[in-house]
Each structure stands twice: as structure tokens, then as C-alpha cells.
Amino acid sequence: MEIIKKMSEYGHEQIVFVRDETVNLRAIIAVHSTVLGPALGGTRFWDYATEDDALFDVLRLSKGMTLKNAAAGLKLGGGKAVIIGDPKKLKTKELLLAYGEFINSLGGRFYTAEDVNINASDMAVLSETTNYVTGTPAVSGNPSPFTARGIYLAMKAGASVKFGSDSLRGKTVVVQGLGSVGYALCEHLYREGAALKVYDLNPAVVEKAVRELNATAIPAEELLTTACDIFAPCAMGAVLNTGNVKSLQCGIVAGAANNVLLDAATGDALEQKGVLYLPDYIINAGGVINCGMEIVEGIYDADTVSAKVAGIYETTLKIIALAKEKRIGTYQAACPLLLTLIFYSKFSTG
Ligand code: NAI
């Protein structure tokens, strides 16, 4: 693979390949941009089928973090890391400590936080070998509840435009992935009286949602074909493509997963179908707002974070309005403005 060519295609500054066989560590750290500040992004532990799959994921995720952090008004750039392998077999304290040393060697160009299969207690372990971690239990902690609340508020904003009211009572929401964010999102929706239809690879969490949140379990193959008001992808990215968008029967797509759309053509296909897409990096920013405060302000205050997360409702409305005014897709509405902001900042700060 021509990696530098890929870097220039996505606009990356730096890719670091990491290996320590003594602890079975193989990872890729991608620093997309440090124009606005040090790059912040989670570390994902995932058993990728191939190294190319891991690279594809980390390139897309880290670019998304540049946009997300800028959209959230944080003086932070974007990055992301993936640790390759099955976390159930490979995640050990030794591996995390070794990984922390590699992060440390970047000298603060990259800060990391939780992502899929990496939790707040793993952050505490990393903090033994590097200071460049956030989301540790001792400070800002698990970002997922903030992420879930932001998505819930964005859904309400989307519903106000799409359905004429921001109440989600009686609305049917299909949720893919009941992890830290997906389950917390379901709790918000349940409290408001929405009907939940859910699927997760892990049957135990599905059973829990059925038991505690009156959810209906659906099989994987019905996720994209079930009639509903909102489809919420809260597992992995690239869930929607131009092919499967045709089968969707929802009014809104809004979820936690980063890079929900495989490509821009998928965004256009949703637009043509009349499905309102709420851009992932706008609506799932609650987590970075939480973790980012620790880095940017040097202090942590949950009330300030909550107030900023509440702003996701208004931001979502602005994106929808801008898309309507410019006659472009919502997936296009935020991006050019953010890129302008990032490049303006580059020139204004020298
Ligand atoms: P998690 O690891 O706690 O949960 C992921 C869940 O998805 C697990 O229950 C897993 O079994 C399930 N899953 C994986 N593949 C699946 C599939 N194909 N179909 C159905 N279920 C599947 O992860 P978390 O933290 O809840 O994150 C979920 C998504 O949201 C990820 O894409 C993550 O990058 C994104 N995100 C998370 C943030 C956070 O604050 N945790 C912030 C912003 C984005």
C-alpha cells in the first residue's frame, strides 16, 4: 500500500506504526491535524480482518476528529489510534503500559481517550506511562454519558424539523449497538417514551435492554429494513452505503458511530430519499467536549461541560438550516465551514 499517498489523500500530518511483540502490541496512531492544537482522539481496540482495514479505519476516524473537535469549538486537532487484535485475548496491563510509552514518545502531539473496547479504567493504566491521556476516572471519567446526551438532544432537534415537534414520545427508534453510548442513549429515549428496537452482537446487552427499557430485540438483517422514525447506528462506522440506503425506512439517521456514511455519495443518496442525516461528528461531540476540557482548560467542571453539550441541539438546527438554505446535504453543510476555520486559524497563528 502507498501509505504517504493515502496520507495526502486524507490530509494527514503523521502516521505512527507501533509494535512490541513482548506484549503482543500492534497499533497505528494517526495524527491528522495539529493546526488548532494537539490532536485528541480515542484509542480503539478491534480485531480487524486485515491491516489495511485497520489503516482505513484510523485514517477516516482521525480526520473525523479534526472536524469534530473544530465543530465543538475546541482548540484541539484531530487524531485517533487503533490497537489491532482481539481485546478479550490481548488486552493486558503490560500491553497498555507499553502503548502509553509510545503515546508519550509523541511529546504531546497526540492525546488519547476511550473508544470501542477501551474504557476509563484503561485510561488510568495508560496514565502510568504517559500524561497525554484524558477521560481518566480521577478527572473527567467516562465520556459516553455526555456523548449519549448530545445525540439524544440532536435527535430532538432533528425531530422538530422533520416531524414538527421535538418530542420523541411515541417515536420508534432502531438502535444498532448497545455499548457505553448506545445503551445510555436508549435510557434517554426510554425515559421520554420512545419505542426501542435494538440489536447488538452481544446478546446479554440486548436482553438487558428488553428487560429494563421495554425494548424489542430485532435480528441484524432487519436493522436497515425496519420501519421506524429514527435509525441510530451506535456501533462501528461505514454502516450506510449507496446500496443499502435504498432499503431504509426511517425519517432520520442519527447515531454515535463515527463515519456512519461510507462516502459522500451515500450522503447524497440519503438526501434524495428524503432522510434527514444528522452528521456524526456534530452530534456525537459530547465525549470530546468532556475530555477536551481537561486538556484545553487544564481543569474539569461537569456543569460547564453539560452546558456545552446542551448546545448540540442548537448546532444541529443550524446545520439543518444551512443545508436547506444552500440546497446541500446536511453532511456537506458543516464541513466546508470547519475546514475554512481550521485553515484560517493556521494562517492567523502563523
Ligand atoms: P462500546 O465498545 O462501548 O460499544 C460498542 C457496542 O457495539 C458493543 O456493545 C458491541 O457489541 C456492539 N457492536 C459492535 N459491532 C456491532 C455490529 N456490527 N452490530 C451490532 N452491534 C455491534 O463503544 P461506544 O463507546 O459505545 O462507542 C460506540 C460508537 O460510538 C463507536 O463507533 C465510537 O467510535 C463512537 N463514539 C463513542 C464516543 C464515546 O464517548 N464513547 C464518542 C463519539 C463516538
Size of the chain, expressed as the number of residues it contains: 350
Give the model's pLDDT for residue 297: 83
Give the model's pLDDT for residue 334: 73
> Cβ(133)–Cβ(100) under 8 Å?
yes
pLDDT truncated to tens, each residue of the chain (350 aa)?
Answer: 789 999 999 999 999 999 999 999 999 999 999 999 999 999 999 999 999 999 999 999 999 999 999 988 899 999 999 999 999 999 999 999 999 999 999 999 999 999 999 999 999 999 999 999 998 998 988 999 999 999 999 999 999 999 999 999 999 999 999 999 999 999 999 999 999 999 999 999 999 999 999 999 999 999 999 999 999 999 998 999 999 999 999 999 999 999 999 999 999 999 999 999 999 999 999 999 999 998 888 889 999 999 999 999 999 999 999 999 989 999 988 775 565 555 555 544 43
Across 294-332, b (16+ Cβ under 10 Å) vs e yields bbbeeebeeeebeebbeebbebbbebbebbeeeebbbbb
Q: Which of 321, 323, 342 is nearest to 331 (CA)?
A: 323
> Cβ(175)–Cβ(234) under 8 Å?
yes
pTM listed for this prediction: 0.92
Name the residues annotated as catalytic. 80
C-alpha cell at 296: 484545553
C-alpha cell at 318: 443550524
Q: What Å distances lie between residue 271 and 79, 223, 229, 238, CA to CA? A: 29, 20, 16, 17
Distance from C-alpha of 247 to C-alpha of 227, rounded to nearest angstrom: 10
CA 169 to centroid of ligand 1, rounded, Å: 25
In the numeric block, the cell 500500500 is attached to: 1
Cβ contacts of residue 6 below 8 Å, gap of 6+? Answer: 12, 55, 59
Query: Residue of the nearest CA to atom 4 in ligand 1?
Result: 179
Give the model's pLDDT for residue 101: 98
Q: What is the dihedral of CA 154, 157, 161, 163, to 10 degrees?
A: 90
Give the model's pLDDT for residue 164: 98
Mutate to test the pocket of ligand 1, among 82, 83, 115, 221 (most ligand atoms within 8 A of CB): 115
Q: What is the dihedral of CA 296, 299, 302, 305, to 10 degrees?
A: -20
Residue 117's Cβ-count burial label (10 Å; 0-12, 13-18, 19+) is: middle
C-alpha cell at 103: 503515546
Full DSSP string of 16-56: EEEEEGGGTEEEEEEEEE-SSSSEEEEEEEE--SSHHHHHH
Query: Residue of the nearest CA to atom 9 in ligand 1?
Result: 179
**Ligand 1 cavity residues, CB under 6 Å:** 114-117, 143-144, 147, 176-182, 199-202, 205, 234-236, 256-258, 284, 287
| DSSP at 285 | T
Distance from C-alpha of 179 to C-alpha of 237, rounded to nearest angstrom: 14
Q: Are strands 172-176 and 77-84 parallel, antiparallel or unpaired?
A: unpaired
Residue 79 pairs in a beta bridge with 31
Q: Which of 248, 25, 2 is nearest to 129 (CA)?
A: 25
CA 180 to centroid of ligand 1, rounded, Å: 7
CA 258 to centroid of ligand 1, rounded, Å: 9
- The whole-angstrom distance between residue 224's C-alpha and the CA centroid of its chain comes to 20
Query: Residue of the nearest CA to atom 5 in ligand 1?
Result: 179
In the numeric block, the cell 503490560 is attached to: 94
Q: How many CA atoms lie within 13 A of 259 on its CB side?
A: 17
